[in-house]
């Protein structure tokens, strides 16, 4: 593959999202009190990033008909990368991700294979199943936290809570993306939650995991000694951002606006990872 294709490869795998997956794995290691100076957390983070690359590339391959309507700027739709090359990229990312997980821990390989299988099944069948497909993607993101935590011998409540929050925010974002993609999904004959019940009811359902995450962050702020360190500021900013998105979601209409809400949730996910990295949770 020519070097000129590298920018298109990065777009195919949605490299920014994959970096977030790597950071989430590191956050899992950090929450489990693992010293990030060792090599295991970083091996798992790179493995998580590569498996996310596989999932995103394979998703674009399977969603090509819908993306012609919903995402005309995607590289496969534009023809910047051909289908055979996309399949090769997805395959190599999966193979390298699994090899790194096997090198780190046997248990990591088990989680990696499970996540890859769920992503494969999601693109084949689960995507069109109301809420179940959204929950499957959210579960893979929560598993990324557990993936990183494998680098530590300590499995504590901090890791579990972080997994639940990762699940909740990802579920919110997946619901928002389904609302945004309703037109293309309907053309494919999909039966997503927004298609069956409408965007407003979907937004109401998304409020539940949003409310839980806001409650958790507020709990951490008020149960700890206030200080204006980086973690405290990040927690306050995260709470305000989640509340803003929750309120705005009730008056959001149309694909463009739902794209903005989805982008906001991605920012809050990143901020949440930063929050954990800045402040090991003590519950």
Instruction: Summarize the confidence of residues 252-257 as an average pLDDT.
Output: 91
- Give the tokens for residue 131: 């809420």
pLDDT more than 70, % of the chain: 93
Residue partners of 171: CB distance under 8 A and separation at least 6 = 134, 135, 138, 206, 209
**Band (19; pLDDT cuts 50, 70, 90):** very high
**Could you count the other beta carbons within 10 Å of the beta carbon of residue 51?**
29
| Fold assignment, 3-278 | Tetracycline Repressor; domain 2 (1.10.357)
pLDDT in tens, 196-252: 888 899 999 999 999 988 988 888 777 765 566 777 888 889 999 999 999 999 999
Residue spans per domain, the chain: 3-278
Q: What is the pLDDT of residue 283?
A: 44
**Could you count the other beta carbons within 10 Å of the beta carbon of residue 79?**
9
Residue partners of 68: CB distance under 8 A and separation at least 6 = 77, 184
CA distance 154 to 32: 6
Buried/exposed code over 176-198 (b: 16+ C-beta within 10 A; e: otherwise): bbbbbbbebbeeeebebbbbeee
Q: What is the pLDDT of residue 225?
A: 55
Q: Which pTM does this prediction carry?
A: 0.85
pLDDT in tens, 63-72: 888 888 878 8
**Band (152; pLDDT cuts 50, 70, 90):** confident
Q: Which residue has the tokens 């959001």?
A: 252
CA distance 149 to 120: 24
Rg of the chain in Å (alpha carbons): 19
Instruction: Summarize the confidence of residues 88-102 as an average pLDDT.
Output: 94
How many helices and strands in the chain, by DSSP H and E? 14, 0
Residue partners of 105: CB distance under 8 A and separation at least 6 = 40, 44, 150, 151
């Amino acid at each position: 593959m020519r070097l000129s294709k590298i920018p298109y490869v990065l777009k195919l795998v949605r490299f920014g999202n994959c970096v977030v997956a790597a950071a989430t794995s590191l956050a899992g290691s950090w929450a489990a009190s693992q010293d990030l100076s060792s090599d295991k957390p970083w091996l798992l983070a790179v493995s998580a990033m590569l498996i996310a690359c596989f999932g995103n590339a394979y998703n674009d391959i399977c969603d090509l008909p819908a993306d012609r309507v919903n995402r005309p700027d995607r590289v496969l739709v534009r023809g910047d990368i051909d289908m055979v090359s996309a399949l090769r990229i997805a395959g190599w990312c999966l193979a390298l991700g699994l090899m790194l997980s096997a090198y780190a821990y046997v248990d990591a390989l088990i989680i990696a294979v499970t996540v890859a299988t769920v992503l494969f099944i999601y693109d084949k069948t689960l995507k069109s199943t109301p809420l179940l497909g959204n929950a499957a993607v959210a579960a893979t993101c929560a598993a990324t936290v557990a993936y990183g935590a494998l680098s530590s011998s300590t499995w504590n409540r901090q890791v579990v809570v972080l997994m639940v929050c990762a699940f909740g925010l990802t579920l919110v974002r997946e619901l928002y993306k389904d609302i945004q993609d309703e037109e293309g999904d309907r053309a494919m004959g999909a039966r997503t939650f927004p298609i069956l019940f409408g965007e407003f009811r979907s937004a109401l359902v998304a409020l539940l995991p949003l409310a839980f995450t806001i409650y958790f962050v507020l709990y951490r702020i008020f149960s700890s000694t206030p200080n204006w360190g980086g973690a405290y500021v990040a927690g306050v900013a995260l709470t305000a951002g989640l509340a803003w998105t929750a309120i705005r979601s009730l008056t959001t209409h149309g694909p463009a606006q739902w794209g903005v809400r989805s982008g906001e949730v991605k920012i809050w996910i990143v901020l949440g990872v930063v929050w954990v990295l800045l402040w090991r949770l003590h519950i």
